């Protein structure tokens, strides 16, 4: 179904990408460098621009059980694949989430939207006076940041706290999951209406492909840490398998987070909606999920993870012209075509990571083009 360019990026381009010269943004500072934690803008918030409200009938309960997961043995539907391959070996600083440590100053967050509960789990609140909710993407990204900080940290006490925070997020996510269709889905336990993306309206519980993909990265990376026990390692592997199983369930039943569009391209939906054509077809959410597929494929060697990764990257390459807003901020999604400054830097970084992960010059060029579009060069500000 088409062929993708798989040859390696030339040395000059790779050096420019690694140094952050292409666009001058998003370069991870050398480990231990003062001020490194200030280089990056906040991670994407799937609730940005929307309204959170309590669910009718109270917060849905979760499924704390941990039984064996039988990962499906085939993809839910055929989809276009251009042959992109996830390189099995990558320099440590180019692996997913290595550029997103939680600063020590944020190990116990307390701000307008986030705080830690008594178990050390980060919670989302619409404002300081509102009740807090479990928010899977916030918990996953905080957990991933703590894992990265654990790897970097030299002080034993700080190192232990970062690991404790990561474990707390994992415990909560596992306890509050929904188990259905043979897969684990990480539950959003509140009602949500998007303010600018018309039609995005959920009643609890609901689910997101971005969370499912990021869960792959989180549980795989947590399982690899030297500080976890064998029992924890097995638990986190099971959690990763449960999340992966959700990406092998199509849109023929609810819940679902993956679908094939009318042209045969695979999408991992940040905001899955029924009917599928009313979904947002969000770019950054799918790409963050693809990072999880890279982690899972590397960790397990699962052929279906490699196949889904190829499909997601084939979609990312094919629809790049619809993502790009030449000379301006990139579009957030296909459905609404809204340029979004707060996400532009994130997609530059994501396409740059796809270049590293595949060795594809095509993705390196896409990252370069997006960085060159940055209105920050004309007085704006680039996030990410």
Query: Of all helices (H) and strands (E), which one includes residue 124?
Result: strand 122-124
SS3 52: strand
User: What is residue 43's predicted lDDT score, i.e. its pLDDT?
Assistant: 74
Please indicate, yes or no, if residue 6 is contained in any of the structural domains. no
pLDDT (tens place) for every residue of the chain, 384 residues total: 433 333 334 444 433 344 333 322 223 333 333 233 333 556 767 787 778 888 887 777 788 899 889 999 999 999 999 999 999 889 999 999 999 999 999 999 999 999 999 999 999 999 999 889 999 999 999 999 999 999 999 999 999 999 999 999 999 999 999 999 999 999 999 998 987 778 788 899 999 999 999 999 999 999 999 999 999 999 999 999 999 999 999 999 999 999 999 999 999 999 999 999 889 999 999 999 999 999 999 999 999 999 999 999 999 999 999 999 999 999 998 988 989 888 899 999 999 999 999 999 999 999 999 999 977 554 444 445
Please indicate, yes or no, if residue 19 is contained in any of the structural domains. yes
Query: Of all helices (H) and strands (E), which one includes residue 192?
Result: strand 191-194
Burial label, 38 (beta-carbon count in 10 A; 0-12, 13-18, 19+): exposed
Indicate which CATH number applies to the domain containing 182: 1.50.10
User: What is residue 288's predicted lDDT score, i.e. its pLDDT?
Assistant: 97
Q: Kindly report the pTM of this predicted structure.
A: 0.87
Please indicate, yes or no, if residue 23 is contained in any of the structural domains. yes
Please indicate, yes or no, if residue 336 is contained in any of the structural domains. yes
Separation of alpha carbons 7 and 13, rounded Å: 13
Residues near 185 by beta carbon (within 8 Å), at least 6 away in sequence: 177, 178, 179, 207, 212, 246, 255, 257
SS3 110: strand
User: What is residue 17's predicted lDDT score, i.e. its pLDDT?
Assistant: 40
Structural domain boundaries, residue 278:
11-29+38-378
Burial label, 361 (beta-carbon count in 10 A; 0-12, 13-18, 19+): middle
User: What is residue 168's predicted lDDT score, i.e. its pLDDT?
Assistant: 98
Please indicate, yes or no, if residue 254 is contained in any of the structural domains. yes
Separation of alpha carbons 162 and 153, rounded Å: 9
Please indicate, yes or no, if residue 5 is contained in any of the structural domains. no
Count how many domains the chain has: 1
Please indicate, yes or no, if residue 296 is contained in any of the structural domains. yes
User: What is residue 197's predicted lDDT score, i.e. its pLDDT?
Assistant: 78
Please indicate, yes or no, if residue 1 is contained in any of the structural domains. no
User: What is residue 41's predicted lDDT score, i.e. its pLDDT?
Assistant: 57
User: What is residue 133's predicted lDDT score, i.e. its pLDDT?
Assistant: 94
User: What is residue 376's predicted lDDT score, i.e. its pLDDT?
Assistant: 57
């Amino acid at each position: 179904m088409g062929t993708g360019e798989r040859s390696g990026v030339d040395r000059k381009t790779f050096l420019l990408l690694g140094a952050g010269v292409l666009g001058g943004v998003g370069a991870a500072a050398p480990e231990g460098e003062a001020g490194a934690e200030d280089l990056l803008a906040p991670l994407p918030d799937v609730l940005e621009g929307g309204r959170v409200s309590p669910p009718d009938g109270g917060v849905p309960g979760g499924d704390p059980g941990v039984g064996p997961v039988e990962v499906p043995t085939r993809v839910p539907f055929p989809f276009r694949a251009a042959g992109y391959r996830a390189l099995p070996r990558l320099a440590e600083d180019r692996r997913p989430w290595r550029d997103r440590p939680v600063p020590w100053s944020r190990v116990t967050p307390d701000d307008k939207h986030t705080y830690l509960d008594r178990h050390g789990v980060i919670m989302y609140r619409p404002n300081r006076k509102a009740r807090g909710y479990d928010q899977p993407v916030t918990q996953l990204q905080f957990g991933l940041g703590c894992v990265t900080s654990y790897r970097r940290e030299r002080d034993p006490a700080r190192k232990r706290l970062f690991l404790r925070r990561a474990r707390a997020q994992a415990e909560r996510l596992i306890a509050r999951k929904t188990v259905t269709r043979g897969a684990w889905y990480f539950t959003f336990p509140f009602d949500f209406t998007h303010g600018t993306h018309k039609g995005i309206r959920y009643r609890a519980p609901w689910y997101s492909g971005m969370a499912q993909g990021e869960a792959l990265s989180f549980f795989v990376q947590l399982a690899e840490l030297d500080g976890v026990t064998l029992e924890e390692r097995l638990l986190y592997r099971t959690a990763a398998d449960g999340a992966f199983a959700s990406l092998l369930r199509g849109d023929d039943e609810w819940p679902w987070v993956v679908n094939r569009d009318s042209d045969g391209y695979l999408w991992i939906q940040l905001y899955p909606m029924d009917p599928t054509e009313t979904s947002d077809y969000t770019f950054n959410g799918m790409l963050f999920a693809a990072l999880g597929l890279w982690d899972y494929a590397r960790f397990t060697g699962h052929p279906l993870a490699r196949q889904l990764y190829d499909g997601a990257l084939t979609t990312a390459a094919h629809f790049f012209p619809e993502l790009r807003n030449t000379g301006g901020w990139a579009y957030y999604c296909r459905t609404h075509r809204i340029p979004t400054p707060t996400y532009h830097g994130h997609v530059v970084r994501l396409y740059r990571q796809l270049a590293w992960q595949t060795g594809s010059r095509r993705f390196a060029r896409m990252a370069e083009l997006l960085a060159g579009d940055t209105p920050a060069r004309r007085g704006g500000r680039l996030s990410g």
